[in-house]
Structure 1
Amino acid sequence: MRSFAAMVGALALAACATASVDGPASSAQPASVAELMQDVQLGYETFTLDNGLTVIVHEDRKAPVVAVASWFNVGSKDEPQGQTGFAHLFEHIMLFNGTEHIPNLIVPLREVGATNWNGTTWFDRTNYFETVPTQALDLALYIESERMGYLLGALTQTSLDAQRGIVQNEKRQGDNQPYGLSEYAQLEALFPDGHPYRHSTIGAMADLDQASLEDVRQWFRDNYGPNNAVLVLSGDIDIAEARPLVQRYFGAIPRGAQNVPADADVPTLPAAINEVLHDRVSNTRIERSWVVPGQGHADEVDLAIAGQVLGGLASSRLDRILVRDEQTAVAVTAGLQPFQRLSFFSVTVDVKPGQDADAVTRRLDEIMADFIANGPSEDEIQRVATTQIAQSTFAIEQIGGFTGATWVLADGQIMTGDPAYFRRNLLEYGEATPASVRAAMQRWLTRPAHTLRTEPGEREPYEESVATRRPPPDTSPPTAQPRDPMPAVGEIADLDFPSVERATLSNGIEVVYANRTSIPATLVAIDFDAGVAADPQGAFGTQRLMLAALDTGAGGRDAMQIAEQQERIGATIASAGTLDRTSVTLTALSANLPLALDLFSDIVIRPDFADAEVSRLRNQQLAAVSAELTQPNGLAQRALPPLIYGANHPYGRAASGVGTAESVGALDRNALVAFHQTWVRPETARIFVVSDRPLAEVRRLLDARFGQWRGSTTVAAGRKDFTAPIPEPRSRIIVVDRPQSPQSVIYAGNVLPISGTDDTLTLAAANEVLGNNFLSRLNTEIRERRGWSYGLGGNAQLREYRMPYIINAPVQSDRTGDSIRVLIEQINAFNGANGVTEAEHTRTINGNIRQLPGAFETAGAVLNALRQNDLYNRPDTYWESVAARYRAMTAANMDSAARAVVDPRRFVWVVVGDASVVRPQLEGLGLPIEVVQPAS
């Protein structure tokens, strides 16, 4: 196998003199893999308590926050027959219920301003995490130790039943999606009876329903002791500070039973399995899967590279052949998903509507056979390695959350026994060769595979397997062990937001800049005053199609050359449109910034809009229209805006911007060129930058590429027209019929008499109490107390002009009418005599002030703040001013702000669900009811 040093040495010959290159079309070479790896460092120290708790500490002083993560070496693969779903059920119990000394774990986390808090379960592990201000670290450790050592005494039949219902609704929510039943079929086909990975993490309805209180108590005793756990602290802390704190809060917890993760072989199918399902989907999907070795195996990285080259990179083989050249598919993916005992290698092809799925399957066979026989090129491997390093650099900038430092350190320890696995794994990308990738594929991907084809049609009969008899309730009283009270929180300083600087390019484009040096990277966003609201009437979907076409040819490069260059330099260029803005963004390692800006400016200023590419992308967008019409949320989000804004208003359309079959089918190159000339131009642009490089250097690089750009002299700059009248609200219920739906999606609201450029801070705080928070009245009542939903809320959605208040509530179908009734009752009570309480006021104000340091931990968060300040006409010092404003905010202020604008008597209710089940439940609500079919 070729050595890492040999590979990077060959790449480093002309690697670096990049930062001094000012002009476009730079001749500089990308930084080498070796140079990029120098910036991917994640130092840590470890110690172990006498009770077996492993502790990992990573010091990062960039912000006064600490991420705390508790990982347990247990997941769904460790569940015995008849207890599927227990690991996930217990994740909910440990995350959302109270403990022996804390009635509700979320309340103190919210009050101290915790960010990035959550918990997850999968086949191999269960974890809990939060990021808190440094002064709240004692409290966070107390909470995590409560989960680990002081939970059983507070586990009651009531709390078990509540979380059981929520988990069952989470299962319904997943099953209700297009292709939502595919995973069950795949796991059953790939694994024999009794194999630990054969059942999904969500579990079976019957097993969840039959779980007794003693069953789940014993599950905790068997699996959640400190000797089966890893605690990771990352951020404003070092090991000398961490050791006494961890000993104080966790040292008294006794060892538990020793959980030995279930052993599991890598099965080989005796013969290929080809299976067909039917579902209410817009296009046929082909999913092919193999079971291959697990995380840390010698072939892991080679197989991961194979997946990226085959269907993960933007320049992947399958994308180039099936999507771009032959145009028989609208989307493809391939990749490796590693787990502790084994991994899944999977390929997914979404067949273009109208194409022969059998022919596409045969073509997939040919492409894969050729790739397995011949392997990737060295250039493809280098591009995968650079892309992986770039993504990892941005991932570990964050200390906590789903991708940050705590995650990768704990994952390495739990899965492989090595916290340094993250960096070791990256280095192995540099050691891979075409021969090693080819050999790994030939070892594992020449074995029989499972191929699942899901075709459009009526879903096979869907029945929830719920037990007919639940165990009798356990009425034993809870008990609590003695313990010191929860620690107090120290004084937390107000946010110190990065200083904002401004510059102007030669053509007048303003640059808004903030300096961040935590990672060697630059983030750029060009926002244009356009958005979905700029789509012409009758031509909805124009902006989205134009944005999709930007990187399919520009500045002398075709689509594949653009994709390959991004991968080669570790840059990501993306385009997106909200209702109010059209944006193109660049994420780049600063070592390659000039090369990245060369490509970025070509895509923004000089797109080709070639007829062939426009035709191909138009077909893909038509497929996206069809797909949206099969999705419960997609149907709701298409139905409500024209009902509340009116069909002629710029906001009276789905925010997805995908358009309709009729409008998209009529779009051509001329329409995209016209939109680009009208809206994507210097007069409508503003550039936002967060970088480790100084403003003077960034401004020079930007000016060399954008400073001479001029808008069209023959086409006037666009201007959106918001004068269309908004109809008077007429409260009613529109049922969008979607048969066989185990859940209903309730989507309701009205247009408010305020705009995003108004001062909405007090309204937002009030609505955290009412609807837009896990602890909100709406979510607490329907999810936590009644168990009818996996989660719901109401939100005053920011818009540059008139804002809406929107409720989004997926609920079990047999509780649709009851849920609407309860939503109305809760809002009316809030608007009446039951306004913000003293406890809710304190929790909200304290939490919002204290969460500010953690809210802007990353360069991306700072960039988004700069953009929002501009969009909503806020001063640069806005975020530094809000703490004082929160302190002055009273409960009466909050009540007044919400009651002035949120009124369910003005709501239009859209319900997407099975009309035969839903409509009878709605009859007693006193509102007109109309049943409609999904519109195109």
Structure 2
Amino acid sequence: MRKPLAFLAATVAFACGGVAAHAAGSDAIDIPFTRFTLPNGLTVVVSEDHKAPVVAVSVWYHVGSADEPAGKTGFAHLFEHLMFQGSENHKDEFFRPFELAGATDQNGTTWFDRTNYYETVPTTALDMTLWMESDRMGHLLGAIGQAELDEQRGVVQNEKRQGENQPYGRVDERVAANAFPANHPYHHDTIGSMKDLDAASLADVRQWFQAWYGAANVTVALVGDITPEVAKEKMLKYFGDIPAGPPVPRQQPWVAPRTESTRDTMTDRVAQTRIVREWNVPGLADADAVLLDLAADVLGGGKTSRLYERLVYKDKLVDDVSVSVQAFALASMLQLSADVKNGVDPAKVEAAIADEWKKFLEHGPTADELERVRTDNRAHFIRALEKVNSKASVLAEGQVYRDDPAAYKQDLARMDAATPASVLAAAKKWIARGDYTLTITPAAKDDTSEPADEMEKPGRPALAGRPEAKLPAEPAHAYTTTPSSIDRSKGVPAVATFPDLGFPKLERGKLRNGIDVVLAQRHAIPVVQVQMLFDAGYASDQGRKLGTSAFTMAMLDEGTAELDSLEIARRAERLGAIIGAGSGLDSSNASLNALASQLEPSLKLFADVVRNAAFRDADIARIRGQWLARIAQEKTQPTSLALRSLPPLIYGAGHAYAIPFTGSGTEASISSLDAADLRAWVRDFIRPDNVTILVAGDTTLDAVIAKLDAVFGDWKAADTPVPKKNIAHVDAPKQPRLFLLDKPGASQSLILAGVVAPSTKAKNNLEIRTMNGAFGGSFTSRLNMNLREAKHWAYGAGSLLSNAIGQRPFLMYAPVQTDKTAESVAEILREAKELVGTRPLTHEEIDKIKVGDVRSLPGEYQTTGSVLAAITSMKLYDRPDDYVQTLKARIEAQTDEAVQAAAREVVRPDALTWVVVGDLARIEASLRKLELGAVEVIDADGRKVR
């Protein structure tokens, strides 16, 4: 769910030449495109972008959950899943050829108004991609039987359980049901009800495909290393013989605003009360949509917004508050969310919100507020000029919803033309009355009941006045098919060649005080990204209060000697800059993302933040409250809870990594942190003799060295040495162990099994990575194909390796339906044992990962951010400057024997530490019968309960 401008800001990737990229104002932003329609009615939008040898393919069907008839909720999304099951001429997982071709950014999604499928592939794999997309568009039904339907029904139902098992996981369903009348297309959520999913039949599958998946109901966007001439030839070749399908009725806009306020409450297993308030507002094509988006940003779009300043900074009533617009075709939702501080009366929060709302509706935004929001939006547009898949989404969305791939330009023009008066007028019209307020309160600790699968309340009743769906205008010429020369019986076209990776050569320099600077030039967009990488991280908390590293870095931009937190944020907004700081396991970083034209003043502000943090008591108290609320929330979220619990168990007390891997520390440690602790940590680690500055973007070495020298060149280190971190070696336990955490009423269980593995710096790191990809790190891996595709007990299952300088954790995970918890643990254990015993990885399994890794390289490094991330890894793990350029040869040189040996080294079934989070009343007895080893029930802090 995204608001109009935020969606564009997050996803637009414009094909930019130097003039367009550097010109001022929104009118300079352009995505050149060519649009044409095949004889069968399929619309194609093509945009050339030759900076990387990849093409984004984005296929949008104009059908979503809004088109589902009564009793068929969730069917559009279920059908999306079936589209990945294979087709008549490729009776296998849809993902498999793409993994071999090195596809990136691949997925499918369903929403109220559309279903889309997308991937970015090497240019040489375009024929394979278009064959695959056209085969499932034109040749699907013969490949879908009852077994396939039952499999994906189970997967979707576990996706629903997984969402509902999260804190506040049932809120969106409740809001939609009360925002829109019962006869509105948006009244039910996209994933649908368990009852309706159970009732879906093969007849429904056939009807849905025939009604909605015809060529004339499709837009295909092709963006990247392609020309319109090539696109026309290939699209006609692969899609021209697919029938247009019947005319499709289009749902019509219906805002259905309320004239009176309504209220509702619900309980959930959450850590604090949340207030959600919603107003129905016009759909994304309406002229008021952009104005309301601007109003939302001023009211609650970030740290400098009115509600955040009032409720968080001034009144200290909430830990977080936000306002945003979720934009859809028929209507949109302007929504407020506020997390109430524990101990605060929610009525006080509502009163403060009402006061700020009233002030805004009386006077509107100031000119400065409006200009800061506009500047921030423009900066986000420029940053998004790189990724071809995102650009394809913008063009396709404009065509599908507004019959204009360039519809984003209309929104940008409306943003530029907005005035305080016009924003105020739109706000008065739409958000002065008629809200729905939902208050979510924590369930009682002794409440062990399982939440109902469906809505307890019916929501907003039906209303008269729903507009009838309309058929589109008759085409100027009758749709016809074009005979195809393709012999589909030969199967998926082979991809014989692949483009080479282009990665910038690294340049090195020094500041006058000796700080090393590493630069990768990228001139596709006028943006420069700077990262100051400090040797610190969570591991530096050893001997200190847990969470010190992460908390201190979070405090850097909360005030300097001369600027307070809000003024730092306001200045960054005016510059279009993004300043951040944080920590990982082994390092801490401060980052700047700046417009090239504003690099000098942005660096000045950035240096003030890094060098002159004030650590005022009031700011520490405010962030401490938010931090403690975050820890409390982590303890209600199954994955976070497991990641807090498992590392101390596998590393052992006192180890630098024996900490919650969320980095947030504990309530006790955070509660006791004070300014002296933060200053001591900064003195020890945030210093010029412990940093490397990494830069990527639109600059040169001489230019950036001069600018960095001006703000960091006179920085002097403390007289004390940088502390040495002690990352000790850990021996694996001699036998497996099982730890259980109770989550009463949970509809799923989260299974996590871990053991320490060699460092990311290990000589066989690539072999370990390949092993992981084949075993659990890819869609067609053994674990996912077992628990998701074969058993459909989970929405997804797999394994992962967290990078670390010391021994890193190897983790196997699966969120599974409660009644299959013990069976799933048994399957994971069986797979692990077979991997290192009777069924080692085959040549085919290993080669699939190797070739996929090599062939995905051109797509992996499209953006400045991805280049910067690669440089960061080179620095952290002592890799040479040509590491990326030489990666292909090293990946290909891996032998099957070496990868199989890596599996035996890493995956040790008899040394696993298991953590299972779920409803112990339903799962404990069956888990104990597995006899995995010693069993303990622990609480959210890792303390033994029994």
* TM-score normalised by length of structure 1: 0.93
Residue number in structure 2 paired with 1:781: 786
1:683-716 Cα distance to aligned partner (Å, 9 max, x none): 1111111111111101111111111111223x43
What is the distance in 1 between the residues matched to 2:334 and 2:734? 52
Query: What is the one-letter code of the residue matched to 1:360?
Result: V
Query: What is the one-letter code of the residue matched to 1:638?
Result: R
* 2:21–2:29 Cα contact (<8 Å) kept: no
Query: What is the one-letter code of the residue matched to 2:683?
Result: Q
Residue number in structure 1 paired with 2:256: 267
What is the distance in 1 between the residues matched to 2:21 and 2:757? 53
What is the distance in 1 between the residues matched to 2:323 and 2:153? 34
Aligned equivalent of 1:600, options 584, 596, 606: 606
Aligned equivalent of 2:382, options 390, 393, 407: 393
Aligned equivalent of 1:642, options 648, 653, 661: 648
Change (3 A) 1:860 1:99: farther
Aligned equivalent of 1:734, options 739, 755, 779: 739
1:150-195 Cα distance to aligned partner (Å, 9 max, x none): 1111111111111110100000001001111111221121122121
Query: What is the one-letter code of the residue matched to 2:909?
Result: P
Aligned equivalent of 2:670, options 664, 667, 671: 664
What is the distance in 2 between the residues matched to 1:718 and 1:412? 55
What is the distance in 1 between the residues matched to 2:375 and 2:350? 31
Q: SS in structure 1 opposite 2:890? A: helix
Query: What is the one-letter code of the residue matched to 2:404?
Result: D
How many aligned positions are there?
Answer: 889
1:229-264 Cα distance to aligned partner (Å, 9 max, x none): 100000001101111011000001111122223235
What is the distance in 1 between the residues matched to 2:887 and 2:139? 37
Moved more, 417-426 or 433-442: 417-426
Residue number in structure 1 paired with 2:834: 829
Residue number in structure 1 paired with 2:710: 704
Alignment of 1:80-119 (within 5 A): 80-119=69-108
2:333 matched to 1:344?
A: yes
Residue number in structure 2 paired with 1:8: none
Aligned equivalent of 2:821, options 810, 813, 816: 816
2:868 matched to 1:863?
A: yes
Q: SS in structure 2 opposite 1:206? A: helix
Residue number in structure 2 paired with 1:18: none
Query: What is the one-letter code of the residue matched to 1:408?
Result: V
Residue number in structure 1 paired with 2:307: 318
Aligned equivalent of 1:420, options 388, 391, 406: 406
Aligned equivalent of 1:549, options 550, 555, 572: 555
Alignment of 1:544-693 (within 5 A): 544-554=550-560, 556-693=562-699
What is the distance in 2 between the residues matched to 1:423 and 1:263? 23
1:462-489 Cα distance to aligned partner (Å, 9 max, x none): 13369xxxxxxxxxxxxx9965532221
* TM-score normalised by length of structure 2: 0.92
What is the distance in 1 between the residues matched to 2:524 and 2:26? 15
Residue number in structure 2 paired with 1:185: 174
What is the distance in 2 between the residues matched to 1:784 and 1:300? 41
What is the distance in 1 between the residues matched to 2:336 and 2:578? 23
Residue number in structure 2 paired with 1:66: 55
What is the distance in 2 between the residues matched to 1:423 and 1:671? 50
Query: What is the one-letter code of the residue matched to 1:884?
Result: A
* 1:133–1:853 Cα contact (<8 Å) kept: yes
Identity of aligned residues (%): 41
* 2:75–2:197 Cα contact (<8 Å) kept: yes
Compute the displacement of 1:96 (Å).
Answer: 4.3
Residue number in structure 1 paired with 2:13: none
Alignment of 1:395-544 (within 5 A): 395-400=384-389, 404-458=390-444, 461-464=450-453, 485-537=491-543, 539-544=545-550
Q: SS in structure 1 opposite 2:906? A: coil
* 1:646–1:727 Cα contact (<8 Å) kept: no
What is the distance in 2 between the residues matched to 1:338 and 1:703? 45
What is the distance in 2 between the residues matched to 1:840 and 1:724? 32
Residue number in structure 2 paired with 1:477: none
What is the distance in 2 between the residues matched to 1:755 and 1:250? 45
Residue number in structure 2 paired with 1:475: none
Residue number in structure 2 paired with 1:232: 221
What is the distance in 2 between the residues matched to 1:757 and 1:873? 11
Residue number in structure 2 paired with 1:9: none
* 1:313–1:384 Cα contact (<8 Å) kept: no
What is the distance in 1 between the residues matched to 2:280 and 2:737? 51
Q: Over aligned residue pairs, what C-alpha RMSD do you find?
A: 1.9
What is the distance in 2 between the residues matched to 1:576 and 1:96? 41
Q: SS in structure 1 opposite 2:886? A: helix
What is the distance in 2 between the residues matched to 1:270 and 1:309? 24
Q: SS in structure 1 opposite 2:83? A: helix
1:584-605 Cα distance to aligned partner (Å, 9 max, x none): 1111111111111111111111
Residue number in structure 1 paired with 2:900: 895
* 1:71–1:230 Cα contact (<8 Å) kept: yes
* 1:39–1:520 Cα contact (<8 Å) kept: no
Aligned equivalent of 2:285, options 283, 290, 296: 296
1:832-874 Cα distance to aligned partner (Å, 9 max, x none): 2322223223322221111111110111100000000111111
What is the distance in 2 between the residues matched to 1:290 and 1:335? 11
Residue number in structure 1 paired with 2:296: 307
Alignment of 1:25-40 (within 5 A): 35-37=24-26, 40=29
What is the distance in 1 between the residues matched to 2:488 and 2:123? 27
Gaps of 5+ in 2: 1-19, 456-485
What is the distance in 1 between the residues matched to 2:28 and 2:537? 37
1:711-766 Cα distance to aligned partner (Å, 9 max, x none): 223x4323211237556354111110010110111111111244535440011112
Residue number in structure 2 paired with 1:853: 858
Residue number in structure 1 paired with 2:461: none
Compute the displacement of 1:313 (Å).
Answer: 2.9
Moved more, 265-274 or 107-116: 265-274
Moved more, 926-935 or 69-78: 926-935
2:843 matched to 1:838?
A: yes
Residue number in structure 2 paired with 1:19: none
Q: SS in structure 2 opposite 1:878? A: coil
What is the distance in 2 between the residues matched to 1:481 and 1:73? 29
Moved more, 618-627 or 285-294: 618-627
Residue number in structure 1 paired with 2:470: none
What is the distance in 2 between the residues matched to 1:493 and 1:481? 26
What is the distance in 1 between the residues matched to 2:38 and 2:734? 62
Residue number in structure 1 paired with 2:936: 930
What is the distance in 2 between the residues matched to 1:809 and 1:615? 37
Query: What is the one-letter code of the residue matched to 1:420?
Result: A
Compute the displacement of 1:444 (Å).
Answer: 0.3
* 1:289–1:451 Cα contact (<8 Å) kept: yes
What is the distance in 1 between the residues matched to 2:746 and 2:706? 56
Query: What is the one-letter code of the residue matched to 1:243?
Result: K
Compute the displacement of 1:885 (Å).
Answer: 1.9
Q: SS in structure 2 opposite 1:543? A: helix
Moved more, 879-888 or 335-344: 879-888
* 1:100–1:153 Cα contact (<8 Å) kept: no
Q: SS in structure 2 opposite 1:232? A: strand
2:290 matched to 1:285?
A: no
1:579-627 Cα distance to aligned partner (Å, 9 max, x none): 1111111111111111111111111111111111111111111111111
Compute the displacement of 1:897 (Å).
Answer: 1.5
* 1:152–1:217 Cα contact (<8 Å) kept: yes
Residue number in structure 2 paired with 1:382: 371
1:427-452 Cα distance to aligned partner (Å, 9 max, x none): 32111000000000000001210011
1:508-534 Cα distance to aligned partner (Å, 9 max, x none): 111111011111110111111000111
Residue number in structure 1 paired with 2:478: none
What is the distance in 2 between the residues matched to 1:847 and 1:724? 33
* 1:388–1:426 Cα contact (<8 Å) kept: no
Q: SS in structure 1 opposite 2:495? A: coil
Change (3 A) 1:465 1:446: closer
Query: What is the one-letter code of the residue matched to 2:440?
Result: T
Gaps of 5+ in 1: 1-30, 467-479
Q: SS in structure 1 opposite 2:750? A: strand
What is the distance in 2 between the residues matched to 1:371 and 1:862? 43
Compute the displacement of 1:38 (Å).
Answer: 6.0
